[in-house]
Amino acid sequence: MANLKFLGISGSLRRQSCNSGLLRSAALLLPAGVAFDLADLSDIPFYNADLAERPASVARVLGQMGAADALVLACPEYNYSLAPALKNILDWASREPNNALLAGKPVAIMGAGGGMGTSRAQYHLRQVCVFLDLHPLNKPEVFANAFAGGFDAEGTLVDEKIAGLIRQQMEALAVWAQRIAA
């Protein structure tokens, strides 16, 4: 397998977020030849076209996005939709000339939330991906119930079944990224 770089982006800003915990698990469950980096959205301001300069925090994350071969988006569900922090960084990235950071980039989506494990938010995120010309991996899907004992108090994944799905998803994303790049 060729050397690939994945960038994990959590839509949750909580330090003990289960969605960030999914990404930490993904970083440990990668196939050979894949590196994983995590983006920090905690200091990203809301997109505002009136800003004359791109803030340094935004430039940092956009640089990570540009260097990544694929994105891994951990999508919390807020009010039946995706979290503002995740949508916001995608909005910033989409303003690059010709959508250069996102167009054609493979993406995997996962999420931890209530009983349906962010299924509604993931559906909305897939709609956003269509407009941004991102190429989401269809299967395997990762939906985790954040309140059923699958995570410890620090937001670390302890559910082996979900970990197995994440491993499968990372393997499938590596194949998907190579296929798209070919």
What is the tens place of the pLDDT at every residue in 17-65? Answer: 999 999 999 999 999 999 999 999 999 999 999 998 999 999 999 999 9
Say what the pLDDT of residue 1 is.
56
**DSSP tag of 98:** G
CA–CA separation, 105 vs 27, rounded Å? Answer: 19
pLDDT digits (tens, 9 = 90+) for 109-145: 999 998 888 999 999 999 999 999 999 999 999 999 9
Residue 10: pLDDT over 90: yes
DSSP state of 157: B
Torsion sign (Cα): 170, 17, 94, 124:
positive
Domain of 136 in residue numbering reads as 4-181
Instruction: Determine the Cα–Cα distance for residues 101 and 120; give it in Å rounded to an integer.
Output: 26
What pLDDT was estimated at residue 117?
A: 87
- Using a 10 angstrom Cβ sphere, with 0-12 exposed, 13-18 middle and 19 or more buried, the burial of residue 66 is middle
Whole-number Å distance between alpha carbons of 182 and 123: 27
First-to-last alpha carbon distance for the chain, in angstroms, is 13
Q: What is the pLDDT of residue 178?
A: 96
User: For the chain, what is the mean pLDDT?
Assistant: 96
pTM above 0.85, yes or no: yes
Question: Which tens digit of pLDDT belongs to each residue from 146-158?
Answer: 999 999 999 999 9
Number of domains in the chain: 1
CATH number at residue 90: 3.40.50.360
- Per-residue pLDDT for 104 more than 90? yes
More confident: 92 or 2: 92
Nearest to 153 by CA among 37, 14, 10: 14
CB atoms within 10 A of CB 150: 21
The pLDDT, as a whole number, for residue 115 is 85
